[in-house]
Copies of this chain bind each other. A is one copy, B any other.
Amino acid sequence: MTRRRKHWGWGFEDQQPSPEEVEAAAAGARRHLGFAPADVERPVALEDVELRPSRLDPPSSLAHICRTDPYERVTHSYGKGYRDLIRAFRGRFDSPPDVVAHPADEADVERVLAWCEEASAAAIPYGGGTSVVGGVEPPGDRPSVTIDLRSMDRVLEVDRSSRAARIQAGAQGPRLEEQLRERELTLRHFPQSFEYSTLGGWIATRAGGHYATLYTHIDDFVESIRAVTPRGVWESRRLPGSGAGPSPDRLLIGSEGILGVITEAWVRLQDVPTHKQSAAVLFDSFESGARAVRALSQSGLHPSNCRLLDGDEAALTGAVPAGPAHGRPALLVLGFESADHELDAAMDRALELCLEHGGRIESEDEESSGGGADPSARGSAQGAWRDAFLQAPYLRDTLIAAGIFVETYETAVTWDRLDALIASVRERAREALGGDGIVTCRLTHVYPDGAAPYFTVLAPARRGDELAQWDELKGATSQMIEAGGGTITHHHAVGREHRPWYDHQRPDPFADALRAAKAAVDPAGILNPGVLIDP
């Protein structure tokens, strides 16, 4: 029997802690964070969930790929944001999909879209279901079909000389890498959701991965895309580079399912790195660390990992020992990797730049990976941070049971505005928390012209009122991000939750152009309605 994912939260049913373990971990977490003890709540069991009956009846030609049982509908109701988890935990599934379709191939996708058009149903493309912005949540106002692509998970073709592969969109991270490993190639795109998220989902949401510099988004790895729209197949030519009009790929990349269902893509691969170096550097302040990171990002050295954690974040993740809050240094996790050459010259120069900016080298490690979230890189000097990074989604489920509010906010902004934006988001988030809670910050990706700050907020949850608490925090932080000149999302996508700020951010004529483009390929407006734009 295949393993089932739990009906709420992260992971599989068979890897969940026992109620007693949750109880102990929850108490420990509240203590660790300095929050007063609180009862541990239990999630509403799947069998106790009341679900609106399905309003759709799949045609017999599609019956074999369509499911309407409660488990399927419940597990496809939400992504994995805090709002999603809270609602799922409480057994609240107001707007589940009416049908979940599991296409086996592109012809199935075409048939499902044709049926949705006929039935005036919304069609929600679904990859790993790890959206944290409401990107896969069916709209409430009409019947909907969620199209789960995960049966389409194969590497179809490998071009060794160009280091590229044609891969089906539904391939989840581990499955994709496992197939590439046979050819000694790797995509090396490791978002935090890697275990579950899919190639198609990464492309549709402009996912941010492994590399902290240079190749930060999946965008850079896309050679061509094939997608099914209600008006035919959209397939670009495989090209290493082109100047032929606006890039057709770049219109699909980030389209979040509103233009078509991505079915496969040619992606650029890498040789498996054989040289790796990493280092940990401490800075007295986050600001001085950020100046070092700016120098690194403008040096042309292109470190694969270059993540700056503030003192609280470093202490939380166990990457540095916890000390008194005010004396906690910022931690730079620095790494280089190559499948071709030694990295001594690059690392030496990078550390020199760190020293010039007041850094203190905490450790250097030649064997370990500089690999960000690279799941293959356990047990190294930076293992504590990486393990914490990958375990965070699992931990979150326990935090919710423990009545702990946990949410992250991310953006990217030019260097000239970075310090002010971070300060204002921190301040405003603390204000919104009303004194009780923790706001940490790290830089997840860096560019020659700016950086991507990522905030984590932990606070005692207002039990039963978490959604309002979420709204307040989201409004407060997003307003500061907008005022500070940042993007409403660097790599979490827009979905439904970022819409108000995205609507301010995007140029109005572009919104008109995108709306018209959608109407051209999806005239009935069935594809993921409410995401990115209103019809």
Q: Does A434 contact B (CB under 8 A)?
A: no
Residues of chain B lying within 8 A (CB to CB) of residue A450: 162, 239-241
Q: Does A477 contact B (CB under 8 A)?
A: no
A residues 288-311 with Cβ under 8 Å of B?
A: 294, 298-302
Complex Cα gap A339–B271 (Å): 28
Residues of chain B lying within 8 A (CB to CB) of residue A298: 163, 271, 340
Complex Cα gap A236–B451 (Å): 18
Complex Cα gap A493–B492 (Å): 33
Known contacts being A163-B448, A349-B340, A517-B516, is A413 close to B239, with CB within 8 Å?
A: yes
Q: Does A412 contact B (CB under 8 A)?
A: yes
A residues 145-164 with Cβ under 8 Å of B?
A: 159, 161-164
Known contacts being A298-B271, A449-B164, A521-B513, is A241 close to B216, with CB within 8 Å?
A: yes
The 0/1 profile, CB within 8 Å of B marked 1, for residues 221-260 of chain A is 0010000010111111111111111111011111110011
CB atoms of B488 and A244 under 8 A apart:
yes
Q: Does A469 contact B (CB under 8 A)?
A: no
CB atoms of A505 and B244 under 8 A apart:
yes
Q: Does A286 contact B (CB under 8 A)?
A: no
CB atoms of A342 and B341 under 8 A apart:
no
Residues of chain B lying within 8 A (CB to CB) of residue A345: 341-342, 344-346
Which of B164, B235, B448, B494 is close to A245, meaning CB atoms less than 8 Å apart? Answer: B494
Q: Of all chain B residues, which has the CB nearest A267?
A: B449
- Count of identical protomers in the assembly: 2
Complex Cα gap A283–B45 (Å): 70
Interface residues contributed by chain A, number (CB under 8 Å): 99
CB atoms of A449 and B300 under 8 A apart:
no
Q: Does A168 contact B (CB under 8 A)?
A: no
The 0/1 profile, CB within 8 Å of B marked 1, for residues 361-403 of chain A is 0000000000000000000000000000000000000000000
CB atoms of A248 and B491 under 8 A apart:
no
CB atoms of A254 and B259 under 8 A apart:
no
- A–B complex contacts, Cβ < 8 Å, 10 sampled: A162-B416, A206-B243, A239-B486, A244-B489, A246-B514, A248-B507, A260-B509, A299-B340, A515-B520, A516-B517
**Chain A residues engaging chain B, CB cutoff 8 angstroms:** 159, 161-164, 205-208, 216-217, 223, 229, 231-248, 250-256, 259-260, 268, 270-271, 294, 298-302, 338-342, 344-346, 349, 412-416, 445, 447-452, 485-494, 498, 502, 505-510, 512-521, 532
